[in-house]
């Protein structure tokens, strides 16, 4: 198996076989992102990817490989025929493979039709990790996401309709202190419209080497405090109208807020209220977070 550059994966893919299908990110302009900097995006040849899958079969006990994740960012950009060939080969190679997963931003997901996603699902694609980050168009423009809230809804809804699990990521605090409420309310609107399988919380951290960090240092963007961030989550959760699983599965978050919607909503709100009673000095400092 061959890897190029730093390999990133969601925490939920910790036990997945990682087979690199693309190098870098085709967008690579988000102001908050420190990944893939200095890397020119390219797609690997299908035959090379299949060779790595075969090498993994020789290395691992086939029965141990139940899930496979194909980094880097936005592997969904590959042609549907090529992805189908890769997925079908992986399932043929690993007879116990239960799920194949990729990253896919809305900008690239919406390029594929519903029929294409149904084909990919039939070939084995079980889940897409999509970085929504925010449902507020002003925030999306500020962070150079390259996509609108309407496009996020269009892309996410297409994935869900095709029967593929969808993990949408919400970046707590990305709107700064000035658009905290708008960021929370608009994100709740977008997520409710999509009804993704999972909503995963990630608290914004201004990482050195990013444009957002420069804005933070210059005072152009203000990082919400732990209590402000928790109040933002509360507002977002309170306004969600979907049947998704909310997860706080990352070390960037100040508090573990998890549950199924709508049945666990009141419990989660009560837990946030409890967290708001904790002195802010007891929360981790923003600079302690690492990717």
Q: Report the SS3 class of residue 91.
A: helix
- For residue 128, the 8-state DSSP code is E
pTM of the model: 0.94
What distance in Å separates the CA atoms of residue 161 and residue 115, rounded to the nearest whole number?
10
Q: How confident is the model at residue 1 (pLDDT cuts 50, 70, 90)?
A: confident
pLDDT digits (tens, 9 = 90+) for 248-266: 998 899 999 999 999 999 9
11-281 sits in which CATH class? alpha beta
Of 291, 228, 222, 221, the closest CA to residue 254 belongs to: 228
Annotate 45-82 with DSSP letters as a single string: -HHHHHHHHHHHHHHS-GGG--EEEE-STTGGGS-HHH
Give the pLDDT confidence of 187-232 residue by residue, as tens digits. 999 999 999 999 999 999 999 999 999 999 999 999 999 999 999 9
- According to DSSP, residue 288 is labeled G
| Residue extents of the structural domains in the chain | 11-281
Please check the confidence at residue 289 and state whether its pLDDT lies above 80.
no
Q: How far apart are CA 183 and CA 176, in angstroms?
A: 9
pLDDT digits (tens, 9 = 90+) for 148-184: 999 999 999 999 999 999 999 999 999 999 999 999 9
Across the range 78-94, mean pLDDT stands at 97
Phi then psi for residue 50, to 5 deg, are -65, -35
Give Cα 28 distance to the centre of its chain.
Answer: 15
* Tokens encoding 219: 């005072």
């Amino acid at each position: 198996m061959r890897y190029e550059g730093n390999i990133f994966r969601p925490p939920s893919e910790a036990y997945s076989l990682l087979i690199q299908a693309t190098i870098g990110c085709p967008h690579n302009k988000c102001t908050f992102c420190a990944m893939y900097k200095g890397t020119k995006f390219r797609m690997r040849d299908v035959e090379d990817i299949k060779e790595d899958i075969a090498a993994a079969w020789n290395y691992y006990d086939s029965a141990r490989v139940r899930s496979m994740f194909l980094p880097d960012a936005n592997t969904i950009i590959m042609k549907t025929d090529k992805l189908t060939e890769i997925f079908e080969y992986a399932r043929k190679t690993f007879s116990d493979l239960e799920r194949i997963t990729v990253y896919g931003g809305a900008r690239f997901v919406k390029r594929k039709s519903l029929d294409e996603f149904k084909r990919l699902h039939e070939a084995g694609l079980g889940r897409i990790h999509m970085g929504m980050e925010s449902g507020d168009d002003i925030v999306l423009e500020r962070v150079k996401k390259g996509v609108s809230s309407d496009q996020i809804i269009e892309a996410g809804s297409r994935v869900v309709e095709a029967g593929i699990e969808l993990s949408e990521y919400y970046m707590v605090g990305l709107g700064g202190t000035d658009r905290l409420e708008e960021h929370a309310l608009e994100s709740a609107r977008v997520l409710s419209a999509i009804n993704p399988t999972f909503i995963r919380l990630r608290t914004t951290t201004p990482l050195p080497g990013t444009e957002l960090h420069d804005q933070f240092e210059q005072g152009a963007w203000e990082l919400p405090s732990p209590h402000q961030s928790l109040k933002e989550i509360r507002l977002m959760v309170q306004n969600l109208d979907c049947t998704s699983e909310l997860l706080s599965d990352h070390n960037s978050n100040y508090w573990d807020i998890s549950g199924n919607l709508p049945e666990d909503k009141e419990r989660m709100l009560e837990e946030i209220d409890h967290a708001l009673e904790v002195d802010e000095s007891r929360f981790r400092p923003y600079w302690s977070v690492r990717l």
